[in-house]
Amino acid sequence: MPIRLSRPLPPHLVLALLFATSGLTWGIWIARIPGIAFQLDLARAELGAVLPAFSVGALISFPIAAAATSRLGTRASARMFGILRGLTFPLLALAPNPIALLAALGVSGFMHGGLDVSLNAQGVEIERRTYGSVLSRAHGSFSIGALVGSLGAGFAAQAGAPLPAQFLAPAALVLTIFALLSPCLIDDEAPGAISPAPVAKRRWRGVGIPPRALWGLGAIAFITGIADEAIADWSALFIRQDLGSTPLVASLAYALYSLALVIGRFSGDAVSKRFAPMLLLQAGGAMGGIGLLIGTGFNAPVPMLVGLAIVGLGFSMIYPTLYRMAGNTPGIARGRAMATMATIAYLGYLAGPLIIGPLAGATSLRFALISVGMGCFAIPLIGWLRKPRPLETEALTTPSFDPGTAPEPNAYSL
């Protein structure tokens, strides 16, 4: 039996808190990659070989999470994956050798990916039932959690706290939060509770090859995944080793990136009402390329930190917009749409280390990051070449979030 609060919190607030909790674990892991690599004496090529295990685990979990959201409901699926995420999180710091770290990354990625799909599907369900925009703020909450996690891990490392303790304490917090708050999410566990999207002439049921309507969005998700993975896995190493900074300064890399994501995502609802969704994606890709080129163009930590902040502002609206557009595509169930976009994004996460690690070893990490920045400019090109669907050229005009407002089914669409 799940633990229940005496006075349940609003579902949109609970969703934000659960996203923040997931972001906390992510930020801690990203900030401690250099420490774990040092503990296991991993070279860059070796690190690049084990890091993809996280994405492989996530890829395996996506179709399973999509099935879980359909059979159990998004609330039960989020509760299950959240608790499992907390239970397995300490394995990353307890791995005694690279093989054990490889296995721990696979398990951690599986739980993280399943939680990602479940929370985003719950977010789309909240938006449909309340006629309000919550995904952007939810993703912003994830960034707040990542910011707190990366800064906290940086200060803990600077203070000399044992590495396992930096993972065990947050894991206990994750378990407590998901046990207390997940029952407050929208109950969509009853059969037929989730109204399907409007049925297209040819209904798509698989997660393998996405329909043509999602190809352009998928390409943008793939490129963003590569760039996001590059920043998460390599920016701290670049500042720490190539630029010769301290561990605390290196931890600021992902912290500032997360802070920029927070600022952009919490202002995303107002921005989305002024600009068309595809225009937001194009601008985000261009800012990502500019930020990485600025960061790698100078041999000093400060320009790199500034560049990462620019990238964060640009990327802040990409994933919420992609998930919202995919989740409201006619003929595709929300759980499958979320799993498909997450699968394509994580294919980018998987490709990132496989590309950047060997490229950095053959040339330099600076050149590898420059290459990623140049690739970001493909996003505006994709948006320009892609034939727009109805309403993609118009800004969103949804009213402010009101938990008491319930529109007609499927009134919120792109």
pLDDT range class, residue 384, cuts 50, 70, 90: confident
Q: What is the pLDDT of residue 413?
A: 26
Q: What is the pLDDT of residue 395?
A: 54
Q: How far apart are CA 338 and CA 326, in angstroms?
A: 7
Q: Is the pLDDT of residue 21 over 70?
A: yes
- The H or E element that residue 52 is part of is helix 52-71
Q: What is the pLDDT of residue 391?
A: 45
Q: How far apart are CA 290 and CA 298, in angstroms?
A: 13
The mean of the pLDDT values for the chain is 79
Q: How far apart are CA 67 and CA 46, in angstroms?
A: 34
Q: What is the pLDDT of residue 172?
A: 93
pLDDT tens per residue, range 371-383: 999 999 999 888 7
| 279-285: average pLDDT | 90
Residue 341, Cβ neighbours under 10 Å: how many? Answer: 26
pLDDT tens per residue, range 60-99: 988 888 888 878 888 989 999 999 999 999 999 998 898 9
* DSSP-assigned letters across all residues of 168-211: HHHHHHHHHHHHHHGGGS----STT-SPPPPPPSS----SSS--
Burial class (CB in 10 A: 0-12, 13-18, 19+), 264: buried
Look up residue 409 and give its DSSP letter: T
Alpha-helical segments (H) within 363-401: 365-376, 378-385
Q: What is the pLDDT of residue 211?
A: 63
pLDDT tens per residue, range 161-209: 888 888 999 999 999 999 999 888 888 754 444 444 443 344 444 445 6
Name the residue ranges covered by the structural domains of the chain: 11-186+207-385
Sign of the Cα pseudo-torsion (209, 103, 247, 173, in order): positive
* DSSP-assigned letters across all residues of 289-317: HHHHHHHHSSSSHHHHHHHHHHHHHHHTT
Q: What is the pLDDT of residue 387?
A: 57
Burial class (CB in 10 A: 0-12, 13-18, 19+), 366: middle
pLDDT range class, residue 268, cuts 50, 70, 90: low
Q: How far apart are CA 412 and CA 408, in angstroms?
A: 9
Query: Taking Cα atoms as reference points, which of 26, 23, 21 lies closest to residue 174?
Result: 21
Q: How far apart are CA 316 and CA 136, in angstroms?
A: 8
Fold adopted by 11-186+207-385: Growth Hormone; Chain: A; (1.20.1250)
Of 129-133, 179-183, 316-320, 360-364, which one has max mean pLDDT? 179-183
| Full-model pTM | 0.69
Residue with tokens 């969509």: 188
Query: Taking Cα atoms as reference points, which of 157, 160, 153, 158 lies closest to residue 29?
Result: 153
